[in-house]
Amino acid sequence: MRAAGAQRRKVSTHRPYVILSFEGPDRYAQAGGLGVRVTGLAAALAEYGHPTDLVFVGDPSLPSVESPLANLRWRRWCQWISHYHPHGVYDGEDGKVADYAASVPRFVVEEIIAPAREAGQRVVVMAEEWHTASTLIAIDALLRERNWRDDATLLWNANNTFGFERIDWQPLQRAAALTTVSKYMKHAMWALGINAMVIPNGIPEVLIDDPPAKDEVRTLRAALGEHAPLLAKVGRFDPDKRWMQAIEATAVLKQWGMSPRLVVRGGMEPHGSDVFAHAVELGLRVEDVKVERSEDLAPLIEGLGRAEGDVINLVSFLSTRVLYTLYAAVDAVLANSGREPFGLVGLEVMAARGVAVTGATGEEYAEPFGNAIVVDTEDGRELATYLGALAREPRLGKILRKAGRRTARRYTWGRVIEALGYKIAAVDAEMRGHPYDQE
């Protein structure tokens, strides 16, 4: 049966989407993988014809509304607060959470769902992480007050367990269908009595269709010098990312008579000081390299060409193009997290024709020595053993790069959106009490 008050309308196949997220496409709004996820998902939905609004805590100096693509609107929220908190999306976090929850629900209901309802369209609202949970609960309440609840599909997605203790789970489960990004996360939520649907992350098709140029990859590799193996690690300085294992593996390889070089790009987190101190303790030379921010590879190539350290710490922002060229140039990219809900970096490495080294938690796409290297422990010797094999056996690297590209193609946003459509149909069927909207 239909929910009370619902009218029979012809629904457009291109349903409108609203994505609610703290992180987004601005540098100000990116602190981890969430910003990459929602930016890619929103763009893909728009490219597939779905009118999409991404509501995020954006740069206070940029326009409040921007349309980078047809069908896509970026809506920067909390800008008046961000003006007083210039150090990124989570600077002044609690005030932003409160402002977002107070102002976004009415906007979504009145400015997006109401006109879509008049046009016979059912809106999908997807909210990300604990910061948006109270916002989604409020949207559900407003829709019920107006007897419009049947005019929207509400989903709340967990990318990790951060902030779970701050979520009022019972109202959230009444308000929305809960989703997550991997079976690993599903089981983590199951321990809380929550049975979430799994909808994996994706990568843009362009990462596969337009990989780094081979001549640029060769030039960058040459700039890194006659070292083997050449390694890279990019991410926040967080103990969960197993930075210490990466450092220890580099030191072990050196002790075994090899000449490893590890290029790192971390954040401003205090754990970085511990990482570099540990490297020095183990006899590794750490060298900072700062280059001009540019889409061009030349500054990075020049900087790396002058460097002599075992561990090269890049203290400059790297554009996406430069980053993916680095992924392709080195022998392996260390995304060896100890606890990783999904592991988007591994897929990006595969798409860039690199060799991904992952942990063994949420990276369900990674097949040990089939399309990636997978480490099971935090022991640097385990990682060093695998990296040493890569350096000695060039054929292994070629096999992993080729298989990784095939894997990446299975996780493009187009395929994820197709699966998302079926999941949404299941949510709608459960709400309506029948799998088909029959006359």
Under a CB-based contact definition with an 8 Å cutoff, are residues 46 and 52 in contact?
yes
Residue 3 falls within a domain, yes or no?
A: no
The CATH number given to whatever domain includes residue 70 is 3.40.50.2000
Torsion-angle region of residue 399: left (phi > 0), alpha (psi -120 to 50) or beta? alpha
Mean pLDDT of 290-308: 88
Give how many domains the chain has, as a whole number: 2
Mean pLDDT for the chain overall: 93
Residue 3 has pLDDT above 60, yes or no: no
**pLDDT mean over 372-381:** 98
Angle, helix 394-409 to helix 380-392, in steps of 10 degrees: 100
Q: Each residue of 220-236: pLDDT tens digit?
A: 999 999 999 999 999 98
pLDDT tens figures, 232-262: 999 989 999 999 999 999 999 999 999 999 9
- 2: in domain: no
Q: Looking at the structure, tell me whether residues 361 and 225 fall in a common domain.
A: yes
Strands (E), 170-315: 177-180, 197-198, 230-234, 261-265, 286-289, 311-314
* Average pLDDT for 361-384: 97
Residues 22 and 168 in one domain: yes
Examine residue 7 and state whether it is found in any structural domain, yes or no: no
Is 234 part of a structural domain of the chain?
A: yes
Q: Are 153 and 424 in contact (CB under 8 A)?
A: yes
For residues 196 and 217, membership in a common domain is answered with no
| 28 shares its domain with 169 | yes
Distance CA 27, CA 84 (A): 17
Q: Is there a single domain that holds both residue 212 and residue 173? A: no
DSSP code per residue over 109-176: IIIIIHHHHHTT-PEEEEEESGGGHHHHHHHHHHHHHTT-GGGEEEEEEESSSTTGGG--HHHHHHHS
Same domain, yes or no: 283 and 170: no
Residue 288: CB atoms within 10 A of its CB come to 14
> DSSP code of 228?
B
Mean pLDDT, range 295-319, rounded to an integer: 91
Per DSSP, 377 falls in state: S
Answer whether residue 209 shows pLDDT above 70: yes
Region 385-391 average pLDDT: 97
Answer yes or no: do 352 and 419 share one domain: no
The sheet that has 197-198: what strands, in order across it?
65-69, 72-77, 52-57, 17-20, 123-128, 152-158, 177-180, 197-198
Per-residue pLDDT, 433: 63
Residue 10 pLDDT level (bands cut at 50, 70, 90): very low
Looking at residue 165, what is its pLDDT? 96
**DSSP 8-state secondary structure symbol assigned to residue 164:** G
Q: Determine the pLDDT at residue 430.
A: 84
DSSP code for 314: E
Residues forming beta bridges with residue 53, ordered by sequence position = 18, 73
Same domain assignment for residues 272 and 191: no
- Tokens of residue 234, six digits: 């990019």
The first and second tokens of residue 326, run together, are: 């680095």
Domain identity same for 163 and 214: no
User: CA 113, 13, 33: angle at the middle one, nearest 5?
Assistant: 70
| Structural domain for 152, as ranges | 17-202+412-432
What is d(CA 186, CA 163) in angstroms, rounded to the nearest whole number?
A: 16
Residue 229 tokens, joined: 């193996």
Domain shared by 215 and 192, yes or no: no
Higher pLDDT, residue 148 or 31: 148
228 with 367, same domain: the answer is yes
pLDDT at 171: 97
On whether residue 29 sits in a domain, the answer given is: yes
Determine, yes or no, domain membership for 4. no
Residue 223 belongs to some domain of the structure: yes
Residue 12 has pLDDT above 90, yes or no: no
The β-bridge relationship of strands 72-77 and 52-57 is: parallel
Closest listed residue to residue 26, CA positions, set 65, 55, 47, 57: 57
- Are 241 and 94 members of one domain? no
| 437 occurs within a structural domain | no
